[in-house]
Structure formats: C-alpha cells, structure tokens
Amino acid sequence: MADKTLNQKQISDPEKWVELHGDYLFRYAMMRLNNKSLAEDVVQETFLAALKARKNFAGKSSERTWFVGILKRKIIDHFRKSSREDSHDDIQKIIDMKDDDFLLSGARQGQWKTGRRPKDWMIDENDQSEKNEFWEFLKRCIAELPRRLAEVFILREMEEIETDELSNVLELKPTNLRVILYRARKQLRSCLEDNWIRAHEDRK
C-alpha cells in the first residue's frame, strides 16, 4: 500500500501532462517521423496509453522518461506497420545498389577510391549552438533518405534498438539489415558533408 501511495504522489495530474510534456514529446516524435500530423497522432496516442497505465507507474524513472518510453513504443509500432508495406523487390533494389566508393580489384582492393574517403569532422560538445545546428541538418538529411533507410537508421541509431530485435521488428534478414544500415549511414554522411560541413567551413 505504501508503495502505491508513493507512486500516486510521483505522477502528476493528467490535466497537466500536455503542458508539462507535450512540446518535448512532439519534438521527439518530429525528429523521428518528420511528419507533423503523424507526430501529433503518436503523441496523442502516448497520452491516452499513459492515462490507461498511470496506475502502473512504478516511479523508478522520471515521469518524462516514462512518457518517452511509451512514445518510443508507439514509434516502433508505426515503423513495424510501415515496413510491411514494402515488397521484396523494394528491399532488393536497396540491397543491389551499386557501391562505387571502394576499389573492387588490384593491390588496393577494398580501400577507398581517390577522393571518396569521408572527411574527418566532429561536434564541439561544449558549443550548444553547433550541436543544435548539427541536429537540424541531420533532421533535413534524414528526411531526404528513402523511407526504409530512414526507418532503419532511426530505430538503430536514435532509438538504439539492437540489430537482432530490429530484424524482427522490420521483418528483415540480419544481412539485409546491415546493408540497409550501411547505405543509410553513407548517404547521411554525404549529405552532412555537402551541407552542414560546407556551411560550417564557409563561416571560418
């Protein structure tokens, strides 16, 4: 009984949830879904699910973390449903994409072709404006990815779902998942180099 009473004190009034967490959850969803209407829907579903499950809130994490956990599951469910819309041919086209960044024969086989090696760059963790700018450019670059590449990158790198679980969620063979993830990372890096890095260098 004592634990239940404590939990009830730790969770806020549901009437204040939108005010306390709405903006944060919407930004979280927008970064992953890049669709205003869809982000609003999953946040709404998150609040409804939280309302039904509020008695189960254990108080082991913050209320905000609890909401994010629910929202994360809603986003995963969306991508799971979305992945079922792809045909085998759609997946195979991504797998079969030609990769001309590496030498395929000769003494330097497997090494970067001249001019293809990625640039070295990093974010200054102490510069908040630079971090914000990076995330804004990353969001734009993710939006330019083919849908399946964006889904795989978001779930693996942003939601940190392990590859075995991700294979099950998206119903992909592990080998295909690795190829798709590689293609997504490669395209994102190229996009960031062409946009964020170039803009950063132009200001120097």
CATH at 9: 1.10.1740.10
For residue 21, what pLDDT is reported? Answer: 97
* DSSP assignment of 65-118: HHHHHHHHHHHHHHHHHHHTT--HHHHHHHHT----SB--SSTTTTSBPTTTSP
Mean pLDDT of the chain: 81
Residues 101 and 193 in one domain: yes
Q: Which residues contact 122 (CB under 8 A, 6 or more apart)?
A: none
At 42, is the pLDDT very low, low, confident or very high (cuts 50, 70, 90)?
A: very high
Last residue of a domain, one of 83, 108, 123: 83
For residue 77, what pLDDT is reported? Answer: 93
- Cβ burial of 108 (10 Å; 0-12, 13-18, 19+) is exposed
- Between residues 82 and 155, the one the model is more confident about: 155
Residues 169 and 92 in one domain: yes
Name the domain count of the chain. Answer: 2
Residues 109 and 127 in one domain: yes
For residue 114, what pLDDT is reported? Answer: 55
Last residue of a domain, one of 83, 118, 140: 83
Residues 23 and 119 in one domain: no
**Amino acid (1-letter code) at residue 93:** K
Please report, rounded to a whole number, the percentage of residues in the chain having pLDDT higher than 90. Answer: 40
Residues 144 and 188 in one domain: yes
Of the spans 24-28, 32-36, 56-60, 138-142, which averages the highest pLDDT? 24-28
Which position has the token pair 């306390």? 20
Residues 31 and 103 in one domain: no
Domain assignment of residue 47, given as a range: 2-83
Residues 92 and 175 in one domain: yes
Residues 117 and 74 in one domain: no
The CATH number of the domain where 110 resides is what? 1.10.10.10
pLDDT single digits (tens) 125-163: 677 888 888 888 999 999 999 888 899 999 999 999 999
pTM of the model: 0.74
Please report, rounded to a whole number, the percentage of residues in the chain having pLDDT higher than 70. Answer: 74
For residue 5, what pLDDT is reported? Answer: 42
| Euclidean distance between CA atoms 149 and 82, whole angstroms | 12
Three-state SS for 31? helix
**What is the rounded average pLDDT of the residues 13-41?**
95
Residues 93 and 177 in one domain: yes
Residues 159 and 77 in one domain: no
Q: Which of 3-12, 59-68, 146-155 has the lowest mean pLDDT?
A: 3-12
Residues 43 and 112 in one domain: no
Rounded to 10°, the helix 174-192/88-95 angle is 60
Q: Is 70 exceeded by the pLDDT of residue 57?
A: yes
Residues 13 and 77 in one domain: yes
For residue 90, what pLDDT is reported? Answer: 65
